[in-house]
Amino acid sequence: MPEQPDDARPAAPVLRDPVVIAAFEGWNDAGEAASQAVAHLHEVWGATDLAEFDPEEYHDFQVNRPTVHYDEDGRRRLTWPTTRVSYARLPDASRDVLLVRGIEPSMRWRTYAAEVVEHARSVGASLVLTLGALLADVPHTRPLPVTSSSEDPDLVEQLDIEPSRYEGPTGIVGVVQDAVARAGIPSVSLWAAVPHYVGQPPSPKGTLALLHRVEELLDVSVPLGDLPEDARAWERGVDELAGEDSEIAEYVQQLEEAKDTADLPEASGEAIAREFERYLRRRDDPPRRDDGPRRG
């Protein structure tokens, strides 16, 4: 039997009504909130690696350089910037997921997007969720908003989300969304707003906001591990920084007042109901077997 070439693609797994969840580091990923959300899902759902994109095709290594590290056996290893595809079979759910996590490519964006679409088609994906994060005028002391949009009119009505109306420069998320739409696969784009005055990674509160929205859209419960405490610690740290700078403290107060005023009409009803439903779903979750998600 001839030996399989190294670049041969493994057979696609048989997944139940699969949804693709994708995020890309770089321009689309303020505070790394989106890429860390997919990394968290990979960890807590015990995803199995399926494929990697060839970095030679898509990356300028002077922009995204390979890294050197030593493995557990003390051997020197070189890791190239790439996009990894993995899958997870969700317990107590009627569907499985294909996870795509990578770095916004430096070149050949249309070819890259076509490769994402091909992976989605190979498992018969019924939905694609792209996750992103942007810097915005939002206070760190309030729940970070997540905008959900779609170009699919049926999804807009079914999920009660906004139709996509953005015009202007786009990143790889927008290109992938366009490629997915042209392929006839329904898709939703989720964007978390990260406070621009504290946009450096990590942004666990932004990651948490995206994961909550994934839970709602897919009607699944995501084990959160240490992430809620990480988000609280992050918020306390930003509080301390703001307390040392009167201008930032005053600016945060202005953002809080604007946010609270904007939220008044819906203040309790729907928001409290969503939070209570989320609590009920998670209450009976089995305990984690590890000490929480790993970083990176």
Q: What residues pair up with 25 in beta bridges, in sequence order?
A: 103
Q: Is there a domain that residue 289 lies in?
A: no
Give the per-residue pLDDT at 295. Answer: 36
Residue 3 domain-assigned?
A: no
**Average per-residue pLDDT for the chain:** 87
pLDDT band at 296 (very low <50, low <70, confident <90, very high): very low
**Residue 5's pLDDT band (cuts 50, 70, 90):** very low
The band of 3, judged by pLDDT with boundaries at 50, 70 and 90, is very low
Angle between helices 227-243 and 246-263 (to 10 degrees): 130
- Asked if pLDDT for residue 229 goes beyond 50, the answer is yes
Q: Flag whether pLDDT at 95 surpasses 80.
A: yes
In a domain, 13, yes or no: no
Percentage above 90 pLDDT, the chain: 69
Please give the pLDDT value at position 201.
95
Task: Of 102-111, 235-244, 278-287, give the range with the top mean pLDDT.
Answer: 102-111
Q: What is the pLDDT of residue 188?
A: 97
Mean per-residue pLDDT, 5-26: 81
Closest C-alpha among 54, 41, 48 to residue 13: 48
Question: Is 59 among the domain residues?
Answer: yes
| Range 222-248 average pLDDT | 93
* CATH code for the domain in which residue 37 is found: 3.40.50.10900
The reported pTM is 0.84
Q: What is the mean pLDDT of residues 180-205?
A: 95
pLDDT tens track for 153-172:
999 998 888 888 888 999 99
| Domains in the chain, number | 1
- What integer pLDDT is reported at residue 11 of this predicted model? 72
Q: Kindly report the CA angle at 202 between 254 and 175, in degrees rounded to 5?
A: 90
8 A C-beta contact, residue 210 and residue 37: yes
Spatial neighbors of 133 by CB under 8 A, at least 6 apart, are 28, 29, 30, 31, 32, 33, 34, 191, 192, 193, 194, 203, 206, 210
Report if residue 158 sits inside a domain. yes
Is the pLDDT score of 25 beyond 70?
Answer: yes
Tokens read off for 57: 């095709």
User: Among 67-71, 116-120, 202-206, 255-259, which is the least confidently predicted range?
Assistant: 255-259
Give the residue-averaged pLDDT of 6-12. 59
CA 224 centroid distance within chain: 14
Which pLDDT belongs to residue 275? 58
Which residues constitute the domain of residue 263? 19-283
In a domain, 11, yes or no: no
- Tens-digit pLDDT profile for residues 122-138: 999 999 999 999 999 99
Q: What is the DSSP letter of 94?
A: S
> Is there a domain that residue 291 lies in?
no
The whole-number pLDDT of residue 265 equals: 54
pLDDT digits (tens, 9 = 90+) for 256-274: 988 888 776 544 455 556 6
The dihedral through the CA atoms of 117, 106, 166, 209 has a sign that is: positive
- 87 pairs with which residues across the strands? 48, 98
Do the domain assignments include residue 10?
Answer: no
